[in-house]
């Protein structure tokens, strides 16, 4: 069995620096709005964003009419990555105005201990916030953050 990621913050949740490194190494898209998540095991944890219209960007709907897109989705087919990252973004000039919601769902346990800790970074028009939490298999989606883009 592969080792878990090194350099993690307390509690097994990736640090902000580690999240940045994973995004860079995976060529993550950026823009007016960027929502990114990382965790440290082979479970399938999903990030999703509800657009102001109510449309949901997630693994089953990667490109939206509100012009956001999920460009990195890890561990969907099994524990392929023990240092996973996911990313949803709106290119510069593409993000709509209005209320957004960021959700996290533990989609599938691939044999790694639960709960699974995560870090979510939300960047909106140059302002960045980070959130940490834990999710367990069979738990409903967790709303991590809501924001309004004016």
pLDDT tens digits, 101-121? 999 999 999 999 999 999 999
Phi-psi region of 54 (alpha: psi -120 to 50; beta: other; left: phi over 0): left
Specify the CATH number for 10-145; select among 2.60.40, 2.60.120, 2.60.60, 2.30.30: 2.60.60
With CA atoms as reference, report the closest residue to 72 among 54, 88, 55, 94: 88
Sheet holding 98-108, edge to edge: 56-57, 44-50, 98-108, 142-149
Assessment of whether the complete model's pTM goes beyond 0.75? yes
Neighbours of 118 (CB within 10 A): 27
41-95 residue pLDDT tens = 999 999 999 999 999 999 999 999 999 999 999 998 877 899 999 999 999 999 9
Structure tokens at 129: 């916030």
Helix (H, G, I), strand (E, B) or coil at 14: coil
Task: Report domain extents, the chain.
Answer: 10-145
Region 121-133 average pLDDT = 98
Structure tokens at 65: 């009419």
Residues 6+ away with beta carbon under 8 Å from 126: none
């Amino acid at each position: 069995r592969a080792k878990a990621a090194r350099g993690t913050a307390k509690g097994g949740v990736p640090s902000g620096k580690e999240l940045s490194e994973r995004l860079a190494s995976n060529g993550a898209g950026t823009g007016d709005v960027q929502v990114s998540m990382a965790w440290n095991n082979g479970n399938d944890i999903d990030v999703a964003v509800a657009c102001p219209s109510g449309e949901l960007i997630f693994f089953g709907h990667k490109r939206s009419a509100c012009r956001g897109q999920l460009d990195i989705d890890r561990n969907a087919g099994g524990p392929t990555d023990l240092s996973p990252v996911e990313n949803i973004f709106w290119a510069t000039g593409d993000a709509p105005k209005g209320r957004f919601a960021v959700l996290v769902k533990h989609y599938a346990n691939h044999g790694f201990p639960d709960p699974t800790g995560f870090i979510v970074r939300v960047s909106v028009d140059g302002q960045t916030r980070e959130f940490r939490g834990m999710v367990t298999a069979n738990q409903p989606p967790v709303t991590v953050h809501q924001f309004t883009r004016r």
